[in-house]
Amino acid sequence: MIKKTTPVSKIISYIFLIVLAYIMIYPLLWMIGAAFKTNEEMFGTIGLLPKNPVFGAFAAGWTGTGQYGFSTFLYNTFLMVIPTVIFTVISATLVGYGFARFNFPLKKLLFFIMIATLMLPATVIIIPRYIFFKKLGWLDTYLPFIVPAMLGSFPFFNFMMVQFFRGLPIEIDESGKLDGCNSFVILKDLLLPLCKSAIFSVIVFQFVWTWNDFFNVLIYISSVAKYPVALGLRMTMDISTEFDWNQIMAMSLISILPPVILFFAAQKYFVEGIATTGMKT
Amino acid sequence: MLKRSYKNYTYIGYLYILPWIIGFLLLQLVPLVNSLWYSFTQFQLLGDPKFLGLANYKKIFTADATFLQSLKVTFYYVLIAVPLKIGFALLVAIILNQKIKGINLFRTLYYIPSILGGSVAISVLWKYLFMNQGVVNNIIGVIGIPAIDWLGSPELALGTISLVTVWQFGSSMLLFLAGLKQIPVSLYEAARIDGAGRMRIFFQITIPALSPIVLFNLIMQMINAFQDFTGAFVITQGGPLKSTYLYGLMLYDQGFKFFKMGYASALSWILFAIILFFTSLTFRSSESWVHYGDSI
């Protein structure tokens, strides 16, 4: 099939792919350019590059106009996302290992339940969760994000790790057992070094999802001092109809950088991880 | 020997999955039961839930015009965004699966929107791009097309918001690509020896082999799309004339703006039932169009 492909159809494919790539990336390129444009230029022209670039947007947006600048929002986001990601990795690894390598009563049922919760819509439990966290006094803290991560409440990642562990040869565990290692040492010293691609996938996915999360931060975080970028951006946009739009574009740009940088840094492992774990569903 | 060594570990398995068991009970099962209970009550957050029977549901179905509007908008959204996203992902994956130079670059470029698309930053960007004086109108102006009111007209706003979703086709595309790589070359060779043409090979080998991934994508994207929130909330706030008032926005308003927790819980159970209905319908139908490995 591949050999028979005529050059013409190949050329059409390339044209399609290149045009598509341009369309896909155009909004982002525009965003970069817009951060250096004046309001008039942003909404009057179609060029990506600013003709009379202005450079103040980043500094001005960073300090902000109100009590809290973008630096605070960015710092807050890291404060919320990093522990969430770390605990997700730990809990997903433990739970994945448990399901993949041990036999225990009711295992099949429990595993089925976990898979079923993959499809449980988040909206149906959001209200009782909110009330529960409110009773615990966790509103306006990052605990509603971190504690569920500790408790493996992201079945997607547990499942991903289960699938990954299943793909590792059981002989590794056997050899560890012969050497007298207990199950935790086997996990920590023998299996974990082989889990890089799966763990990077968990890190990238969970970082990106938590970083971009809007609904949950909207309901849980109420004081501006604790706003992550998602809320900070929206607030800046709302209070600034007559604002310098380039500041908002500059801050939007900064806010999407950490996920993009992480993605590129982990890309090799990440794509591999999707390919090995996403397939077995 | 192998089995015996496992028996020693039997109960240790529980220790490893313990975090999830606690999390499942505390953060999923109990909330699920509670939300069902709340849905039969009047519950204003301050104070205790007061039992109402089916009153919330009765009101939703008979006396809440916004519910019907929101339901309609949500169906439209799911119907537009999900098939377009998956279809596009499939198309691009198939094109990429030829011997394409620079495949890694293309794959990365197409995937980037998927890691950004759900964010507020992209919603803000979308709002600017599709404003009346925005760059999209400027571009079509160059070709001579008059400016279009992308976000201000009730007929178009939902479509404009759906574009953000379709723009994120990269994640589904990656799954399709991985699936395409797993189709054994021998299958294609055998078909060619039998004299099958390219179209026949495509419809009788490629598509059936990918059908389980189509099913997986369809289910997951559908569940997500029914609950989408950020785009419609940030870009159009549900307007104009509630034409982008997705179900998620209605839930947010009832639950977290008016704090009608009972009413919102009833709404959330209705959405749950709808999602359950459509996912099981999809699963049911899949028996006739999804082919698993051995049956190709």
Q: In chain A, what are the domain boundaries?
A: 7-55, 60-280
| Residue B27 covered by a domain | no
- Say whether the peptide bond before residue A155 is cis (omega within 30 degrees of 0): no
pLDDT at A241: 59
**B160: distance to nearest CA of chain A, Å?**
14
Please judge whether A151 and B275 are an interchain contact, meaning their C-beta atoms are less than 8 angstroms apart.
Answer: no
User: What is the pLDDT, as a whole number, of residue A276?
Assistant: 57
Q: Are A210 and A85 in contact (CB under 8 A)?
A: yes
Query: What is the C-alpha to C-alpha distance for residues A119 and A113, in angstroms, rounded to an integer?
Result: 10
| Binding-face residues of B in 140-159 toward A, CB within 8 A | 142
Percent pLDDT > 90 in chain B is 59
CATH number at residue B194: 1.10.3720.10
For B285, list phi and psi in degrees, rounded to 5.
-70, -25
| Closest residue in B to A114 (Cα–Cα) | B24
Asked if the structure places residue B111 within a domain, the reply is yes
pTM: 0.89
Residues 23-42 of chain A with CB under 8 A from chain B are: 24-25, 27-28, 30-31, 34, 42
Output the CA–CA distances (angstroms, integers) from residue B207 to A127, B157, B213, in the order listed. Answer: 41, 33, 10
Closest by CA position to A42, among listed B248, B137, B122, B80: B137
Q: Looking at residues B48-77, what average pLDDT do you find?
A: 93
Alpha helices in A155-228 (DSSP H): 155-167, 170-178, 183-185, 196-212, 215-220
Nearest to A255 among B24, B121, B233 (CB): B121
**Residue of chain A minimizing CA distance to B190:** A1
Helix, strand or coil, per DSSP, at residue A201: helix
A60-280: what fold?
Answer: MetI-like fold (1.10.3720)
Q: In terms of residue numbers, what domain contains B178?
A: 43-295
Q: How far apart are CA B121 and CA A169, in angstroms?
A: 43
| CA–CA gap between residue A281 and residue A274 (Å, rounded) | 11
pLDDT at B296 over 50: no
Contacts of A201 in chain B (CB under 8 A): none
Whether B2 has a pLDDT exceeding 50, the answer reads no
Residue (of B240, B70, B107, B92) closest to B166 by Cα position: B92
Q: Does A61 touch chain B (CB under 8 A)?
A: no
Asked if residue B34 has pLDDT above 90, the reply is: yes
Q: Which of residues 24-53 of B touch A (CB under 8 A)?
A: 24, 26-28, 30-32, 34-35, 38, 45
What residues are paired with B51 via a beta bridge? B41
The DSSP secondary structure of A101-135, one letter per residue, reads H---TTHHHHHHHHHHHHTS-THHHHHHHHHHHHH
How many cross-chain Cβ pairs, A to B, lie less than 8 Å apart?
Answer: 275
Which distant-in-sequence residues (6+ apart) come within 8 Å of A275 by Cβ? Answer: B174, B178, B181
Q: Are strands B50-51 and B41-42 parallel, antiparallel or unpaired?
A: antiparallel
Chain A, residues 235-264, CB within 8 A of chain B, namely: 237, 245, 248-249, 251-253, 255-256, 259-260, 263
Q: What is the pLDDT of residue B206?
A: 87
Using alpha carbons, select from A213, A212, A196, A211 the residue that is nearest to residue A266. Answer: A196
Which residues 157-176 of A are in CB contact (within 8 Å) with B?
158, 170, 174
With an 8 Å Cβ cutoff, is B181 touching chain A?
yes
Tell me the per-residue pLDDT of B51-65, one tens digit each, with 9 for 90 and over: 988 999 999 999 999
Q: Is B213 a member of any domain?
A: yes
Confidence at residue B4, expressed as pLDDT on a 0 to 100 scale: 47
| Residue ranges of chain A with per-residue pLDDT less than 70 | 1-6, 65, 240-243, 271-281
Report pLDDT for A243: 66
Is some CB atom of chain A closer than 8 A to the CB atom of B68?
no
Residue in chain B nearest A17 by alpha carbon: B106
Closest Cα of chain A to B296: distance in Å?
A: 17
Tell me if chain A has a CB within 8 Å of the CB of B271: yes
Token pair 């492909």: residue = A5
The complex scores an ipTM of 0.87
Has residue B231 been placed in a domain? yes
**Chain A residue with minimal CA distance to B138?**
A46
Radius of gyration, CA atoms only, chain B: 24
| Residue A153 pLDDT | 93
Q: How far is B37 from chain A (nearest CA, A)?
A: 10
Whether B13 sits inside 8 A of A4 (CB atoms) is no
Q: What is the pLDDT, as a whole number, of residue B1?
A: 41
- Phi then psi for residue B195, to 5 deg, are 85, 20
Residue B131 lies in a domain: yes
Asked whether the beta carbons of residue B24 and residue A260 sit closer than 8 angstroms, the reply is: no
Residue with tokens 């817009």: A34
- Mean predicted confidence (pLDDT) in B148-170: 93
Q: Say yes or no for a CB contact (<8 Å) between A119 and B279.
A: yes
